[in-house]
Structure 1
Amino acid sequence: MPVAETLQEVAPEPNETSSPALPEEAYATLRDIFGLDDFRPNQARVIQSMLAGVPTLAVMPTGAGKSLTYQLPALLLPQPTVVVSPLIALMKDQLDGLPDQARPYATLINSSLSASELGARLRAIGNGQYRLVYIAPERLRQRAFLHALKRCGVARVVVDEVHCLSLWGTSFRPDYLFIGRAIEELGNPPVLALTATASRETQAEIVASLGACERVIASVYRPNLYFQVVRAGNRDDKFKALLDMCRRINGPIIVYARSRQSCEELAEGLRQAGIVADHYHAQVNDRATCQERFMRGQTRVLVATVAFGMGIDKPDIRAIVHYNLPQSMEAYYQEAGRAGRDGQPAVCVLLYAASDKGRLSTWLNEEALTRDDLRELFKALRRLMRGPCDVLDLTQLQRALPGDSESLVRVGLSMLERVGLLRRHFDSPEFATLTLSGLPAPDDQASQVAQLAGLSEGEPVEVDLLLLAERTGMPAAEIESHLLQWQDSGYLRLRGGPRLPLVELLPAPDDVAKRIDQLLRDYRERQEQRIEAMANYARSADCRHRSLAAHFGQRIAPCRNGCDICAPRR
């Protein structure tokens, strides 16, 4: 009997109820635009919430059809749906994957667009041409962009890969923490938050950041995936096991390795053994070509760091092999879930040696931020800032630090903000060009700003916005908002320059040292818990599917033949 049929009988969706009735136009769109006959489990529930404007958190595994839950209702709503996505590649993949009839109604906005193209797309959004607008999270830190979106009108905001907002997560993106503030700026349109993995703790963080919401939690169980742990005594044993799998398994394979050097060495070893293999990591010169070879099937085995995978829609991957112990169960499930997206049987293998837990702990401790790291970051920050509130070049800040650490700047600033040493506002241009139109000032404050800036009718003047804020007594974080409002009234024209992070230093709390120590202690404890949970999974004699489900707070029956514990002979 096929694997999928057997497993589905013993482990059905734990909280799936009968699908809600949707408007007939939703079913017509499903058939006529997307070419599908029916919804997958949980899709109809999420679509109903989207159409009704109910804030929703949907946790649905890879392959469950998350994209349809916002793409379909977006075509039915009267105003655009904004989709926040962490990677340009992921946005492009979603856009390219739309049906031909839906693609003209979607666009993306990212850093590659010129100012004129950005303006043209915003005008098209305002004119009702687009129903789906994909953006990167850092765009939401730009008040001028939000102001333009607000004028266009936004029906819904979709936050894809929402687990990225967890400070404790391995995929943490600081800009995700700002999304809640941006949604307020847009007038609080209903939110749909989507992810394939979220523990109960991560779900609580999401709700705390984005607000209360209805939850649709699908089963993490994937009946077509066979989970296996292969014990290996040493490095040679691991490579022999990997080589054996690459020879036995037909179809594309991704092998995840921790370091760039390991990726290169493993790929070279596989090639020498006659396997068509390539390596992928952040320092590969032509990553796009490397990725394209794998996507087209020219490369059968890709050895990669975890930088590869998010946004890669290759449904026929037959195996995911983890050469090293993953950083967490969440990371493992997300990465392993990239196998078998076509619904056909696939294998998820973890190669495990007794020393792996200690090595992972050592590696993560070396990578972890310390109190000294945060002190150096804060000192560099104060040296570069010209006052208590200033725009900041993050690349310059990174270069001012020992080791030129991008992760210290990216994560460290969020930590300093969390302990109350600084506040990061909307990104702001340092300079802007202002031109008076000749219409009367809408209020006394506008007239005062024009006078202090030396503006005269029809004459463009370049203005230092921070200096102007200081002269007028306005908060630096608010001046662009006022200028945008006065532009809407027709009083002036505003052309902003390149935007930079606007950082405000705050008076140090009396207990700041205690706050920092507690934050780092919490981070360390979470990290140790993640490592222990991953090692327990590797050593466990319980059903692999059952162990994964239990980690995410779900209870399912043993799979019987979907893992090496229940069906070792497979």
Structure 2
Amino acid sequence: MAVSDFLLDSVLHERFGLKEFRPKQREVIDHVMNGRHTLALLPTGYGKSLCYQVPSQILPGATIVVSPLIALMQDQLNGLMRRGITNATLLNSSVSPDELDIRFGGIKAGVFKLVFVAPERFESPRFRNLLEQIDVSLLVIDEAHCISQWGHDFRPQYRNLSSYILSHLKAASVLALTATATPQVQRDIIQSLNLSNMNVVTGSFDRPNIRFEVEPVTNAVSKDNFVFSALKSTNAPAIVYTSSRKEAEALSERMRQSGLTAACYHAGLSSEQRQRAQKLFEGDKVSTIVSTVAFGMGVDKANIRRVIHYNLPGSLESYYQEAGRAGRDGESATCTLLYQSKDVHTQRWLMDRNFPTAHQVEIAYKLIVSSGLQPMRISTLLDDMDIADSALNSALDLLKQLQLIDTTPDGSFLARVSDGTIEMNSLNQRKLRHSQRLDQMIRYAQDAICRRRQILGYFGQVTEACSGCDVCDPQERTHLEKHRQTGQSVLEDGKTSNLAEAILQIVTDLNGTVGRTTIAQILSGSGNKKLKEKGLDRVPLFGRFSVFKQDQLLASIDELIGKGDLQSIPGMYPKVVITANGAQKLGNAKAVISSSVVDLR
């Protein structure tokens, strides 16, 4: 459907109150309006939503937007309502059955031109029947990196979208949007959607107005001191991200006690509480939001001057997406990562918690089988199993992928077969990739390499010059090196030049059979009885570095993992192995067992 620039500009101005498109926005919209399948890679804060919101007001049929989060859908809908655009709606689990009937009727009648749905909605026969009855001009896949098993936020329901497109939406053009896709993820998205002649529009991922910093800290007190000082000196809107709801609540309370105005936001709060916190922040009633990753998508606040990560994120994708919420107005902003070695342990614990063991998958399957023809609710499984929500969801996704269970219309589960075989390989591969992404995040925090160059290189882009980071700024360089020498890791201490070699040697000698904690215990000469039972007190380097604390040794091991000299292998009990890079540094051509290996049998 060819449309004039005048019509597009008119809709942009009259319906959305904006003067002009950004260059890549117009290019994406041109593809959409001409019915071309498109993958658009645009940075956070670039205005990806306009690429489908404007066309939705012109295209003859409906625009269906697949979104991963209820909060994100609601934020987008609220933003449209504030602009007076009332022909948009959403369908999700927060909508009552009676209201859902009204909205279905409105979609059929053409009252609603823009419809937000979760990917799970395509599993509903009623929704699939609706798609057969209406004209759909455009299917938008927001946060398209969720399609890829290589992405940092893979969701199996997203992976299934290609089959629904082929069976129910053949006439619609597809627009896939993401701000965080490495070259490998981009290729996987295109391959998974299986659409011919997909156009790719890529904007620069660089945000030159943002300064990137890493601040090494030793404990929670030093974290708080930095946050309170930075926010008081900035005196402007800011977001502080934490890794848990409990941390967000406690930190926001400490901030209020210190005289700062702050609101807490996380997915565990009620919808009313979240909306109130967001309104307080967007209306400048509070200067800071303290939040988990639940906050930020769809937030309409361009003048955020600071983003602080109180804890280490699990991947560079997550970090850059959250950091990118600063400085959307183009003015200078600062993003600071507070780095403490303890946060590495927390992230590894979260990773283990989010992925089920083979035993947990088997238990979930057996419980569903035992229910016979009575559908098993997810709440019942959570009550009967000692498992995190996220791990159970991963287990159920795997069982559905293996076609061992089916989902009922109300979201319960039935077994398809009672004696199926559970293959864990795909789940184990996903966990390994999560571990590798965390290792990359650790390298970003630890290496004295231009922060901007690390980020852009990760996303397959090159920068010749850095517009601001703590590594490239000469005045900050001394500050950085001082912290690196006095922080948690002791690898760069002049007195311990052979500690790295000792760690690599122990990992090689034990052939990757032990984890980080055990290696640190060997180095410190721990009196742990299990070490003696396994003969690990006979390792030649046992107790050689007893002068250091356990957390210093753990941080040094993590630094070697971050540098790529060692690798953490996920599992119920993660093990540490030496890489080819580490073996070369050790003086070994290959990671082989040395002559000092201990017989642990």
TM range (shorter): 0.7 to 0.9
Show the counterpart of 1:564: 470
1:154 shift after superposition = 0.7
Q: How do residues 112-123 of structure 1 correspond to structure 2 at under 5 angstroms?
A: 112-123=94-105
**Which of 340, 350, 360 is the equivalent residue of 1:353?**
340
Show the counterpart of 1:160: 142
Q: Does 1:543 align with 2:450?
A: yes
- Alpha-carbon deviations, 1:13-41, whole Å to 9, x = none? xxxxxxx9965422332333333333213
| Higher relative contact order, chain-length normalized (CA < 8 Å, sep 6+) | 1
Check conservation: 1:421, 1:506, Cα contact below 8 A: no
Check conservation: 2:75, 2:299, Cα contact below 8 A: yes
Q: How do residues 361-440 of structure 1 correspond to structure 2 at under 5 angstroms?
A: 361-386=348-373, 391-403=375-387, 405-418=388-401, 420=402, 422=404, 424=406, 427-428=408-409
Structure 2 counterpart SS, 1:42: helix
Q: Does 1:527 align with 2:512?
A: no
- Alpha-carbon deviations, 1:126-162, whole Å to 9, x = none? 3333321222222221121221232111111111122
Check conservation: 1:278, 1:302, Cα contact below 8 A: yes
Check conservation: 2:406, 2:415, Cα contact below 8 A: yes
Q: What is the distance in 2 between the residues matched to 1:291 and 1:171?
A: 24
Show the counterpart of 1:471: none
Q: Does 1:209 align with 2:213?
A: no
Q: Does 1:252 align with 2:237?
A: yes
1:197 shift after superposition = 0.8
Task: Give the 3 Å change call, closer, same or farther, for CA 182–502 of structure 1 in structure 2.
Answer: farther
Task: Give the 3 Å change call, closer, same or farther, for CA 101–362 of structure 1 in structure 2.
Answer: closer
Show the counterpart of 1:432: none
Show the counterpart of 1:320: 307
Show the counterpart of 2:217: 232
1:373 shift after superposition = 1.7
Segment drifting more, 98-107 vs 269-278 = 98-107
Task: Give the 3 Å change call, closer, same or farther, for CA 538–385 of structure 1 in structure 2.
Answer: same
Check conservation: 1:324, 1:356, Cα contact below 8 A: yes
**Which of 61, 67, 73 is the equivalent residue of 1:85?**
67
1:327 shift after superposition = 0.2
Check conservation: 2:36, 2:199, Cα contact below 8 A: yes
**Identity of matched residues, %:** 39
Segment drifting more, 94-103 vs 45-54 = 94-103
Show the counterpart of 2:420: 508
TM-score by structure 2 length? Answer: 0.72
1:372 shift after superposition = 1.6
1:115 shift after superposition = 4.2
1:367 shift after superposition = 4.0
Moved over 6 A (4+): 99-102
Structure 1 counterpart SS, 2:296: coil
Check conservation: 2:372, 2:414, Cα contact below 8 A: no
Give the aligned residue type for 1:216: V
Structure 1 counterpart SS, 2:23: coil
- Alpha-carbon deviations, 1:332-387, whole Å to 9, x = none? 0111111122222211100113454344324423443211221222122212232x
- Alpha-carbon deviations, 1:517-562, whole Å to 9, x = none? x334323321221111101111232222221110011112122x32
Show the counterpart of 2:534: none
- Alpha-carbon deviations, 1:83-141, whole Å to 9, x = none? 11223332232223238776133222333444454344333333333321222222221
Q: Does 1:147 align with 2:129?
A: yes
Task: Give the 3 Å change call, closer, same or farther, for CA 344–187 of structure 1 in structure 2.
Answer: same
1:400 shift after superposition = 2.5
Structure 1 counterpart SS, 2:153: coil
Structure 2 counterpart SS, 1:97: helix
Task: Give the 3 Å change call, closer, same or farther, for CA 508–113 of structure 1 in structure 2.
Answer: closer
Q: How do residues 65-104 of structure 1 correspond to structure 2 at under 5 angstroms?
A: 65-98=47-80, 103-104=85-86
Q: What is the distance in 2 between the residues matched to 1:506 and 1:330?
A: 40
1:408 shift after superposition = 2.5
Show the counterpart of 1:177: 159
Q: What is the distance in 1 between the residues matched to 2:97 and 2:3?
A: 44
Q: What is the distance in 2 between the residues matched to 1:121 and 1:236?
A: 50
Task: Give the 3 Å change call, closer, same or farther, for CA 562–102 of structure 1 in structure 2.
Answer: same
Q: What is the distance in 2 between the residues matched to 1:148 and 1:155?
A: 14
